[in-house]
Every structure is written in structure tokens, then in C-alpha cells.
């Protein structure tokens, strides 16, 4: 039965955080600590190397200038380096790249400059001034392993590398094959399709309540750009699986024509 708002399934307002939470897998504590160690080690090595270079010209500088350059060097390496790297790579530092991690906003959005700056400034205190003790304690006592900088910046470190199951084809529900073959899918954007894929792949991991509420929200988001509406009685899970399976089939056909 159609919803008054124009959607096919009963819907509440679609909130990005509710949708992307399916794809946010907080990084494990041990993995995150290893990545953090690699980042700190890289910064320490850069800091030592640049300090040695600065010492080579110390005789040409007065004491005030040399002290100012030392302070500037520390700020650039400890604060400027992580801010620049995480902003340019959208949340991946050297250590996180090696471990397959990424910093994202708590709503699933890419890390922004303001968030990277907040994390770096807090990191100077909780990682460097306290030798990581503060970060370790805070990360241990919260479920997602967030440190103080994450709470202030509104960020979360997540596991980015996809599991093998995440790339496996989604089977077509047999009774929806006919409907799917005539469906108009060209307006379905990649972000919404990915959101649907995450729901379908993690359907059996969700609680019954999560299956129902998230299924209705995601199906309604997809139904805004896919026509005609799904057949009466099609469950959100089946509808989304049919859309994704047909979308993949058409893409494979298009690639096959190009190769031919």
C-alpha cells in the first residue's frame, strides 16, 4: 500500500546516520592501536630527521630564531602533518592506510578539515604530552574505541577494507525477475545503491526491529528513483535484492558489449 508521502513502504524520515550505520564497522581496539603506533612512529622519525637538519644550521642562527624554528617544527609535524594527510586522503593516515582503517564522521560522512584539526590538536595532549595514556584509557572504556579527539571532532575510526562477502553478487528473488527486467534503474545513484547493498548483506545480522525499520527506510529511498513500484506483497529485503541483482546484470551486459 502506498504511503501518503509518495513512497511505497511505510516510512519515517531517512536520516543519513541511520542508513550508513550498516556500513560503519568500528575498528578493533588492537588494530587501531597498531595504526596509531605507526602514525606516531612516522611522526617521531620525521621530527628527529628534521631536528638533525636544523642542528646543522644552528650555528648560523641566533638563539631566539633557533628556538622559534624548533617550536614551529614540532607544530608542523605533530599537528600540521596529520591534519594535512587526513584531509587530503579523506581520513586515512599512513598507519590507517596500512591497516585498512579510515576516519569518518559519526554520521558516516568523510572527515573534514575542521575534524582533522580538532583530532590533531587533541592528539598533541592525549598522545604526546601524556605518552598515549589518556587516549588508551578513553579508548578502552567506550565501545567504539574512540579517543578524546574523536568525541570532540565527532569522528569514528572504521574498518574500511571490505570483507569478501561484501563484493559477492546478490541473488535475484525468482518471483521478482519479471518485474526487475522492466524496471527503470538509471536514476538510482551509487550512494543509495551502496546503502541498499549494505542492508541486504547484513540483513541476517540485524535484529527483527532493525530489519523492519531500516528495511522500510532504505526501500523507500530506493523507490524514489526506481519505477515502477515493486509488486504488491514484496518485502523490502526482496525488493532491494531484486533492484541490486538487476542493476548488476545490466552493468555486466554493458561491460560485455564494450569488450565485444
Q: Spell out the domain ranges in the chain.
A: 29-159, 165-250
Longest dimension (CA), the chain: 83
* Residues of the chain falling short of pLDDT 50: 1-6, 9-23, 162-165
**Confidence at residue 24, expressed as pLDDT on a 0 to 100 scale:** 56
Residue range 100-123, pLDDT digits in tens: 888 988 877 788 999 999 999 999
Per the structure block, which three cell numbers stand in for 248? Answer: 548488476
Per the structure block, which three cell numbers stand in for 143? Answer: 565501545
Per the structure block, which three cell numbers stand in for 216? Answer: 522500510
Per the structure block, which three cell numbers stand in for 72? Answer: 614551529
| Buried/exposed code over 35-60 (b: 16+ C-beta within 10 A; e: otherwise) | bbebbbebbeeebeebeeeeeeeeee
Nearest Cα residue to 100 out of 156, 159, 37: 159
Three-state DSSP class for residue 202: coil
**Confidence at residue 153, expressed as pLDDT on a 0 to 100 scale:** 93
**Confidence at residue 66, expressed as pLDDT on a 0 to 100 scale:** 81
**Confidence at residue 14, expressed as pLDDT on a 0 to 100 scale:** 30
* CA R_g for the chain: 24
**Confidence at residue 23, expressed as pLDDT on a 0 to 100 scale:** 45
Nearest Cα residue to 25 out of 158, 118, 122: 158
Amino acid at each position: 500500500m502506498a504511503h501518503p508521502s509518495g513512497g511505497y513502504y511505510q516510512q519515517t524520515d531517512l536520516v543519513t546516520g541511520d542508513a550508513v550505520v550498516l556500513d560503519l564497522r568500528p575498528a578493533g581496539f588492537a588494530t587501531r592501536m597498531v595504526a596509531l603506533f605507526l602514525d606516531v612512529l612516522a611522526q617521531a622519525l620525521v621530527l628527529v630527521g628534521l631536528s638533525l637538519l636544523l642542528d646543522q644550521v644552528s650555528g648560523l642562527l641566533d638563539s631566539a630564531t633557533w628556538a622559534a624554528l624548533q617550536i614551529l617544527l614540532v607544530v608542523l609535524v605533530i599537528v600540521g602533518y596529520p591534519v594535512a594527510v587526513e584531509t587530503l586522503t579523506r581520513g586515512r593516515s599512513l598507519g590507517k592506510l596500512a591497516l585498512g582503517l579510515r576516519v569518518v564522521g559519526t554520521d558516516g560522512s568523510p572527515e573534514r578539515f575542521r575534524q582533522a584539526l580538532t583530532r590533531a590538536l587533541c592528539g598533541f595532549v592525549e598522545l604526546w604530552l601524556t605518552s598515549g595514556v589518556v587516549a588508551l584509557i578513553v579508548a578502552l572504556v567506550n565501545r567504539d574505541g574512540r579517543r578524546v579527539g574523536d568525541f570532540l571532532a565527532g569522528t569514528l575510526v572504521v574498518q574500511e577494507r571490505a570483507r569478501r562477502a561484501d563484493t559477492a553478487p546478490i541473488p535475484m528473488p525468482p518471483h521478482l525477475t519479471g518485474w526487475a527486467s522492466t524496471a527503470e534503474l538509471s536514476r538510482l545513484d551509487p550512494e543509495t545503491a551502496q546503502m541498499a547493498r549494505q542492508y541486504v548483506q547484513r540483513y541476517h545480522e540485524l535484529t527483527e526491529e532493525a530489519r523492519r525499520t531500516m528495511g522500510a527506510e532504505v526501500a523507500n529511498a530506493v523507490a524514489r528513483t526506481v519505477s515502477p513500484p515493486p509488486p504488491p506483497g514484496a518485502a523490502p529485503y526482496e525488493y532491494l535484492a531484486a533492484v541490486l541483482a538487476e542493476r548488476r546484470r545490466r552493468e555486466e551486459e554493458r561491460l560485455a558489449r564494450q569488450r565485444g
